[in-house]
Amino acid sequence: MRPSPPLEDEQLAEACKALGHPARLAIFRHLMAEDRCVCGRIVEIVPLAQSTVSQHLKVLREAGLVSGEVEGPRTCYCIDKAFLARFRRTLDRLADPAVITEPA
């Protein structure tokens, strides 16, 4: 039972890249705050066309950070917390290989 194996390099790069755009970062942050959120709600928040938002959501979804499920006529998005845990773990390992101990 290893719930959180680290990401492969390519997955990590893809996830970073997905967060590497201000609009997607804003969407991600909003999803963290709202927990569950329908696409139209996001369109209200960010100053972008609906098709553009949908595209950004697709990028986040394909990166694994976000998952969306269809609920009747609309789609509800939320953070994939299991993936997020792996993402964080991977970043921690990358940025702290027990060698940075000297802040001076």
- Judged by the rule CB under 7 A, the positions of this chain that interact with DNA are 21, 23, 38-40, 43, 47-52, 54-59, 68, 70, 72-75
Contacting residue, 1, 35, 44, 51, with a second copy by CB under 8 A: 35
Site map 55..94 versus a second copy, x via CB under 8 A: ------------------------x-xx-xx-xx--xx-x
Torsion of CA 30, 50, 80, 94, to 10 degrees: -80
Q: By C-beta, is 76 or 78 nearer to a second copy?
A: 78
Q: How far is the CB of 39 from a second copy (least distance, A)?
A: 21
**Amino acid letter, 70:** V
Q: Which two tokens stand for residue 51?
A: 């098709």
SS3 8: coil
Backbone CA torsion sign across 40, 46, 51, 53: negative
